[in-house]
Amino acid sequence: MNKTIQLSLLSVALLSQLHANETVQLAPLSITSTAIATDELKSTDAVEVYTAKDIEKAHVQNIYEFLNQQTSVISMPSYGNPYSQLIDIHGYGTSNGNQNVVITVNGRKLNNIDNAPQLLSSISPASISKIEIIKSSGIVVGGDGANAAVINITTKQTNEKEVSFYMGNYGLVDGSFYVGHTDEKFSISASAEAQKSDGIRTINAAGAKDENKFSTGTFNLSYTPTDTLELRLGANFSKIDVIYASYLTKAQYDSNPKQQSTSFFPVTHQKLNTSSLNGGITYYISDALSLNVDTSHEYKDSDYIPSYGMYAYNYNTAKASIDYETKTMALSIGYDGFFGDRRQAGSKTTKNNNALFAMSQFYHGAHTFKAGYRIEKISYAYITSTQNLKDDELLHGAELGYNYTLDNKSSLFANYSHSYQAPVIDMFFATTYPPPTYIPTTGFNGFIDPMQANNYTIGYNNIQKDNKFKISAYYIDLKNEIYLHKPDYKNTNIDKSHKYGVDIYDKYLISQEVNIALNYNYVQAIIDEEKEGTDDYAGNELPGVSNHNIKATLNYLPNRYATLALTQVYRSEAYAADDFNNNFAQKQDAYNSTDISATYAKDNWEIFAKINNLFNQKNGLWIADDAIYPVNFTTTGFIGLKLKY
């Protein structure tokens, strides 16, 4: 299969010799998912914007793969689970990084009230119009957890119609479609995707593999009966059935990362089902004034086999704002509510968020000023047949920003934000694994303090027709950063810590045939003060954080129909995820992956092929000494066909 894929790549590259006659130019991209629309050049924040065309060209199997290969986001399968991945931005670490990023799809939050990462597998890449990443900012509109970044995803509302199919080694098969229609009154779209894999790692003595499958679908409708009224309705479902193997020792990992785990729990089987329904309305009171209301309901259940009990979730959201915009100013004032509960084995745990916010932006010549404030009340409850425990937190968020546009190609910006993270409900529980059965026993540990952070960022943008360059530097001062103290399995707070770093992005059109895109991120995450039991972590680095993160893509367009892309991803070594003392014998190895893809597109059809990890490099997620989860540890590839109408 690997030879077949490699031959396909070569044949696609040689298909046509006609040079492109379409001029490729770069321009500032609009940022539309925030409360106040702007563009990259005038933004007071460090932002990354990726379009449907960027995602299409990357030929990724899911959004995690796109984020990990093309953006500053770090993504790693959650303890081996490829459909539920850990993400990190700005050095919050692989363990808790996802809790410090707010992710939305068409305004609906994907964040969970427990430790479960945001389920980005539920979004088909074919359905996405744009991904916007606002770094070290976004607390006023994004709310609880918007410390490292806010990632806003919007789906397509176009007249496009496409169907895609691909297959690869290890029994990989995938099919997806998108259908859309827009006119003066209606905009309607539907998309779906189904994928299966026979698996790569061995999970038992009989030689069974870690097979997995998932399916997802979305539907969106908007109706504008008059010029002043828009009605919205959307629905989404996802079904995931995944088997993933446990960790290996260092010797096993070095010998054969595909082999069966010999840990006490060598394999996990999860079945996850989600469904959501959302609706909204926009009423234009005048040319400058509008009212926006959106609400959603989500239900999901997660079952681990053999079962330790099914988790059932109910999430309800409500968001309303009055927006005012003129040529000199923009103002958004609103309410944001998120109400979640989890039920399991006779207990119910809830986390409810109620917030008021105001965001403003002022324009004066080359100057743009931003100011915003959010007040949020978070209420917890833990209810069993014998307990009814409650706790409340009142938290404040703020943003200040300034952009000075030097000319129509370059700008300087600076911003400050005070952000926070109210603990997810899993932080209140302590889990132990008593011998001889080692079956998890969970007890209520008590409420812990929320984390608060002061974020400072300065940056420079330069966007020309053949080069887009961005650089920003940040410093984050944190209080009560949340972590798990593994010796006693107790979630608690780091008294004081700080992070700082530099983000660099550059896309350069060397010629009409060759261009290169580079994302480089440098970060330091330091613990300033923290004592827990006999441990003193002062001066140590936060584990699980790589200091250097590099992603580079070289694109070659030999003719108007064909594209070849070579991508290199590198992350430097780090301390293992549990190594808060910075003294484990084993460190997280550096991550390396070289990927190559080829596309031949003509008229309404396209042939594509891709090889991931071309040089068969081993990668893993280190939790502790001799506790390594293999990640992207072998060469995989696929070839496919796309039709557009």
Q: For the ranges 422-426, 438-442, 470-474, which has the lowest average pLDDT? A: 438-442
Q: Exposed, middle or buried, 196 (CB in 10 Å: 0-12/13-18/19+)?
A: middle
Which tokens in the block code for residue 113? 């009230």
Q: ∠ at Cα 72 (66, 75), nearest 5°?
A: 55
**Both tokens assigned to 483:** 């972590």
Contact in structure between 129 and 159 (CB atoms under 8 Å): no
Sign of CA dihedral 405, 91, 595, 160: negative
Q: Which value, to the nearest 10 degrees, does the dihedral of the CA atoms of residues 304, 251, 86, 166 take? A: -80
Nearest residue to 542 (alpha-carbon basis) of 583, 497, 585, 505: 497
- Amino acid letter, residue 591: Y
Q: Which residues contact 212 (CB under 8 A, 6 or more apart)?
A: 82, 83, 196, 197, 199, 240, 241, 242, 243, 244
Average pLDDT of the segment spanning 113-127 = 90
First to last CA, the chain: 30
Burial 455-482 (b: 16+ CB within 10 A, else e): bebebebbbeeeebbbbbbbebbbbbbb
What are the beta bridge partners of residue 470? 461, 505
**Distance of alpha carbon 268 from alpha carbon 302, whole angstroms:** 12
Question: Between β-strands 212-226 and 388-405, what pairing exists: parallel, antiparallel or unpaired?
Answer: unpaired
Read off the pLDDT of residues 322-378 as tens digits, 9 standing for 90 and up.
999 999 999 999 999 999 999 988 889 999 999 999 999 999 999 999 999 999 999
Which amino acid, 559? N
Q: Is the peptide bond before 630 cis (omega within 30 degrees of 0)?
A: no
Over residues 42-52, the pLDDT tens digits come to: 999 999 999 99
Amino acid in the structure at residue 310: M
Quick one: pLDDT at residue 79?
A: 87
Bridge partners, 235 (sequence order): 219, 277
Closest C-alpha among 119, 112, 60, 113 to residue 84: 119
Structure tokens at 532: 């827990």
Residue 305 tokens read as 């086999």
- According to DSSP, the β-strands at 81-88 and 574-575 are unpaired
Mean pLDDT, residues 87-100 taken together: 92
Question: Which tens digit of pLDDT belongs to each residue from 200-246?
Answer: 999 999 999 999 999 999 999 999 999 999 999 999 999 999 999 99
H/E segment holding residue 643: strand 636-644
Instruction: Check whether 265 has a pLDDT greater than 90.
Output: no
Residue written as tokens 């389920």?
119
Res 20: pLDDT: 36
Q: What is the pLDDT of residues 568-623, one digit of tens each?
A: 999 999 999 999 999 999 999 999 999 999 999 999 999 999 999 999 999 999 99
Distance CA 298, CA 145 (A): 19
Summarised one tens digit per residue, pLDDT across range 13-60 is 333 333 333 455 666 666 665 667 678 889 999 999 999 999 998 888
Q: Using only C-alpha atoms, what is the Rg of the chain? A: 24
pLDDT, tens digit, for every residue of 379-424? 999 998 888 999 999 999 999 999 999 999 999 999 999 999 999 9
Residue 620 and residue 634 in contact, taking contact as beta carbons nearer than 8 Å: no
Model pTM greater than 0.85?
A: yes
Tell me, what's the pLDDT at 7? 38
Beta strands in 465-579 (DSSP E): 467-485, 490-509, 514-529, 531-532, 535-536, 548-556, 562-571, 574-575
Torsion of CA 285, 320, 148, 237, to 10 degrees: -110
3-state SS string for 128-185: EEEEEEEECCCHHHHCCCCCCEEEEEEECCCCCEEEEEEEECCCEEEEEEEEEEECCC
Give the 3-state secondary structure of residue 635.
coil
Cα(645)–Cα(638) distance, integer angstroms: 23
Domains defined for the chain, CATH in brackets:
2-644 (2.40.170.20)
To which residue do tokens 């943003």 refer? 399
Rama region for 570: left / alpha / beta (φ>0; ψ in -120 to 50; rest): beta
- Alpha-carbon distance of 438 to 363, in angstroms, equals 61
| Per-residue tokens: 612 | 């991931």
Is the bond into 434 cis (omega within 30 degrees of 0)? Answer: no
Query: What pLDDT shows up at residue 39?
Result: 82
- Output the pLDDT for position 310: 86
Pairing mode, strands 441-444 and 101-105: unpaired
Distance CA 523, CA 501 (A): 4
CA distances from 240 to 86, 121, 501 (A): 17, 9, 37
Q: Which of 43, 36, 104, 30 is nearest to 457 (CA)?
A: 43
| Other CB atoms within 10 Å distance of the CB of residue 445 | 17
Please give the mean pLDDT across all residues of the chain: 91
Q: What percent of the chain has pLDDT over 70?
A: 92
- The three-state DSSP-derived secondary structure of 91-139 is CCHHHHHHHHEEEEECCEECCCCCCCCCCHHHCCHHHEEEEEEEECCCH
Q: How far apart are CA 217 and CA 232, in angstroms?
A: 17
> Pairing relation of β-strands 429-432 and 101-105?
unpaired
